[in-house]
Amino acid sequence: MIRESQNSTNRLPLAIEADERFRSIIIEILPPIHSSQLKIADSMLNGIKKKRPKKVIFHLKDSAHLPNSFTFLLGYYVFLFEKNGIEVGYGGLEAFLRTTIDGSKKYWETKRNAALSYELIEGVGDKLLTAMVGVVKALTFVGELLIAFLKTPWKPNRAHKGALSGSLIRIGIGGVPIVCLISLLLGLVMAFMSSIQLEQFGAQIYVASLLTLAMTRELGPIMTGILIAGRSGSSFASELGTMKLSEEVDALRSMGFDIIRLLVMPKMLASAISLPILSLFSQFFGIIGGLLVAVTIMGITPESYWNNCFESLRLFDIWWGTLKSITFGLLIGGIGCYEGLKVEKGAASVGEAATTAVVKGIFAVILFDSIFAILLVYW
């Protein structure tokens, strides 16, 4: 990658002289240093670090221009040597070497401290990701198909780590409050409305099964789908649309990145993982909303509410809802990204893309919900 130079490719950038037990090592710098020699210099210095000498002496005979990248590399190793208790000395043009290398050494010292917190966040994200992937793996065969589909293109490359965990946090965790709140309110309203009807038949207790059935079979997945289509579908579209306008997408393509793999897949995967989990939250909070009304207004005890609730709860409904949610997640992610990538010119088109993504996303969720309902009947 670093272009080979015409004449300096075979010349070593450093000469290394050590006593036989590697107690002290003299590193003679041999200018002119060319960028094609950096990789060699790097591995030579790394080799010295591994030998763990007591002392290292950098030596430079004649004054020469050292490229910045090279002095930064030296600074990096001086920093590492000193951290590992290796004494560092300078010879020849001692003062010149000391000032140049010290300057870049300082960069690495401050840099490492700053970097720590950043890497930590990424680490947590990746663990979360692994855990989430584990959950999905246990799901139905569509879930497995999904993973198979996603695993091949998702080979984490050091240049784009953290893309998935970022999306997961934004869609999944960011969506929790709104989904829970809306579902709770929905549960409250449904219980309240039905309490009037049920009272006429003296069947108040069935408010529990009504809410359980409604939330697990239909309303949990579809409400979550609609909310996330509004919340994340639009954000995918505007994020990618903005990236198109600012030529980030072109830049990534020109660097040889696969846009689908780097930008679209993580978002689709993240929403396919988040949606079923959010849908479970929604189902739970809807039922809680019913409980609140049942206990405070209808005079039902919490125990009987829960008993009735568990009687009508079917495991199949939960699986089916999960399957639906995964489909909704893929649809919302796919549509959002697709609309975003269609943006070509003008800031207004980003807004349009976001609106279109929401409309199409909600439509797709309802359409597929109907398809699932038909499947269930005629299967």
Partner 1 sequence: MPLFSLTVYSPSYLYIGEMKKVVEILSVSVSFGQKTVLENVDFCVYEREIFAIIGGSGSGKSTLLKLMTGLLAPSKGKILIHGRDLVQAGDEEFKRLMKRFGILFQNSGLIGSITVLKNVMLPLLHHTDLGEHLIEAIALEKLNLVGLAHATNLYPSQLSGGMRKRVGLARAMITDPDILFLDEPSSGLDPVSAASLDQLIVKLNRELGTTIIMVSHDLESIFKVAQRAILLDGKRKGIVAEGNPEELRRHSKDRFAQAFFNRLPLETPND
Using CB under 6 A as the binding rule, whether residue 50 contacts ligand ADP is answered as: no
Both tokens of residue 280? 């479970």
Residues in contact with partner 1, shown as a per-residue x/- string from 131 to 160 under the rule CB under 8 A: --------------------------xxx-
Report the site for partner 1 in 36-65 (rule: CB under 8 A): 38-39, 42, 46
Gap between the Cα atoms of 287 and 357, Å rounded: 30
Task: Write down how long the chain is.
Answer: 379
Using CB under 6 A as the binding rule, whether residue 20 contacts ligand ADP is answered as: no
Residues in contact with partner 1, shown as a per-residue x/- string from 62 to 91 under the rule CB under 8 A: -----xxxx-xx--x---------------
Using CB under 6 A as the binding rule, whether residue 344 contacts ligand ADP is answered as: yes
Smallest gap, in angstroms, from Cβ of residue 249 to partner 1?
8
Gap between the Cα atoms of 355 and 236, Å rounded: 11
Using CB under 8 A as the binding rule, whether residue 92 contacts partner 1 is answered as: no
Using CB under 8 A as the binding rule, whether residue 230 contacts partner 1 is answered as: no
Smallest gap, in angstroms, from Cβ of residue 1 to partner 1?
5
Q: Which of 283, 298, 121, 289 is nearest to 206 (CA)?
A: 298
Using CB under 8 A as the binding rule, whether residue 19 contacts partner 1 is answered as: no
Using CB under 6 A as the binding rule, whether residue 348 contacts ligand ADP is answered as: no
Q: Which of 31, 92, 166, 174 binds partner 1 (CB under 8 A)?
A: 166
CA dihedral 55, 56, 60, 66 (to 10 degrees): -150
Q: Strand, coil or helix: what is 121?
A: helix
Q: Which of 345, 348, 377, 378 binds ligand ADP (CB under 6 A)?
A: 345
Both tokens of residue 46? 């790394």
User: Of 21 and 345, which CB lies nearer to ligand ADP in the complex structure?
Assistant: 345
**Residues found near partner 1 in the complex (CB under 8 A):** 1-3, 35, 38-39, 42, 46, 67-70, 72-73, 76, 104, 107-108, 114, 157-159, 166, 242-243, 245-248, 250-257, 344
**Residues found near ligand ADP in the complex (CB under 6 A):** 344-345
